């Protein structure tokens, strides 16, 4: 009779330093696990289980949204929708890549690096997708066709390459220079986000000065708040840093980081769609 045996879990002192997480003392899966063990661990309560599910489930929400747009009026035949469709595709890819990375990251050190390389590349592509959508729908009207508008997407492409390279390189520094590794990885993703958001921040400024009534701005505010909260949680390792061992399975920072990131993306998507609908009659130049 077929019997499935769940992998035995380890403590922080039983796994290599490259696998250890600050403030997480128990619930580690064995290094050098097989692919089958990794898949089985998805249904076992480990310190990675909710990391996997908090990105796997939202993936299908974004897929559902993308499919709905493809099947809706115009769909792929509407050039005005192409930047949105490209953006939505990256929204589907980045949480799926993250979920797969967390699932198979304990097969070997080499596999762990490769898994997270794909994860970081997907995040960088999401940043590029955001830039495409912002260029088409979010740019302030007075900036359209400006020199900055024309170079905005090319710079975002360059940022994608640099971000992916720097974040992947940071993995090789984790053991010997963990703080520098963490700082490098944060820089790799914070800088492209800040660059992408320049036109949005300018709209925030205009709204503060002119008391605008654009409905999308409030949703953009929500996205921005959750984006900064996502960054803070990732950098701070709260709450497990304050109470090591108490949040090993539920409630540690990486899980909260995932949830806040997904909520941020949801609000960003909603705001972009609102801007797209509002500006359809005065279509901004295509950015693709």
Dist CA 197 CA 139 (whole Å): 10
Distance CA 245, CA 239 (A): 10
Residue 254 counted as an annotated binding residue:
yes
Residue listed under structure tokens 């024309």: 150
- Which has the closest alpha carbon to 124: 53, 190, 56, 220? 190
Contact 82, 286 (CB under 8 A): yes
28 pairs with which residues across the strands?
10
102 labelled as ligand-binding?
yes
Alpha-carbon span 79 to 77, nearest angstrom: 6
Cα–Cα distance, 29 to 51 (Å, whole number):
13
Burial of residue 133 (number of CB atoms within 10 Å: 0-12, 13-18, 19+)? buried
- Smallest CA-to-CA distance from 128 within 175, 95, 83 is with 83
CA distance 92 to 89: 5
Cα dihedral 217, 223, 227, 228 in deg (nearest 10): 50
Residue list, annotated binding site: 102, 254, 258
Residue list, annotated binding site for Zn(2+): 102, 254, 258
């Amino acid at each position: 009779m077929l019997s499935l045996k769940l992998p035995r879990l380890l403590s922080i002192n039983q796994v290599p330093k490259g696998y250890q997480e600050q403030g997480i003392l128990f619930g580690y899966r064995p290094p050098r696990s097989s692919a089958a063990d990794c898949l089985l661990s998805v249904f076992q309560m480990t310190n990675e289980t909710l990391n996997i599910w908090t990105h796997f489930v939202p993936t299908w929400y974004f897929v559902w949204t993308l499919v709905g747009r493809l099947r809706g009026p115009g769909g792929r035949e509407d050039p005005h929708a192409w930047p949105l469709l490209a953006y939505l595709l990256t929204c589907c890819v980045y949480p799926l890549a993250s979920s797969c990375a967390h699932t198979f990251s304990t097969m070997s050190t080499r596999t762990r690096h490769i898994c997270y390389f794909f994860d970081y590349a997907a995040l960088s592509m999401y940043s590029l997708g955001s830039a495409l959508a912002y260029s088409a729908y979010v740019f302030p009207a007075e900036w359209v066709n400006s020199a900055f508008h024309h170079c905005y997407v090319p710079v975002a492409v360059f940022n994608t390459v640099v971000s992916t390279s720097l974040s992947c390189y940071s993995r090789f520094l984790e053991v010997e220079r963990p703080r520098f590794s963490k700082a490098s990885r944060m820089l790799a993703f914070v800088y492209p986000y800040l660059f992408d958001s320049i036109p949005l921040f300018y709209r925030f400024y205009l709204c503060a000065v002119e008391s605008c009534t654009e409905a999308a701005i409030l949703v953009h505010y929500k996205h921005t708040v959750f984006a900064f909260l996502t960054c803070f949680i990732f950098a701070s390792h709260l709450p497990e840093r304050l109470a090591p061992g108490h949040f090993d399975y539920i409630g540690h920072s990486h899980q909260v980081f995932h949830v806040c990131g997904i909520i941020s993306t949801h609000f960003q998507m909603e705001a972009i769609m609102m801007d797209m609908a509002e500006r359809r009659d005065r279509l901004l130049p295509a950015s693709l």
